[in-house]
Structure 1
């Protein structure tokens, strides 16, 4: 059976931590920032951990 190919679009968007968790960027931080509160913009700037079935699907796409 051939090797699994890494899904490059996913690999560019998700990083793997040393413990095997998946981190991603948050949405809605690219434009229209004047109407958003400072706290909301600050939360958008942080990374989020991917959990559940989504994490399982992403790991499969990455070939982990």
Structure 2
């Protein structure tokens, strides 16, 4: 049986913490920032956890 390859796109987008949580960037902070309010851009900055519904899929793609 060959080894499973982890998904290179997911590797670049998801960080795994020491405790096993999956962190991702929030969507909506790439372009058209002049239209969005400062309050909204502050809210979108930083990282957040991957939702529980998607965790199983993301773990499989990462090869965990």
Q: How does the TM-score come out when normalised to structure 1?
A: 0.88
Alignment of 1:4-43 (within 5 A): 4-43=4-43
Two-structure CA RMSD over aligned residues (Å): 1.1
> How many residues are paired up?
64
Q: Which runs of 5+ in 2 are unaligned?
A: none
- Spell out, residue by residue over 1:5-43, the C-alpha distance to the aligned partner (whole angstroms, 9 max, x if none): 110011001110111010111111112112212121012
Q: How does the TM-score come out when normalised to structure 2?
A: 0.88
Q: Which runs of 5+ in 1 are unaligned?
A: none
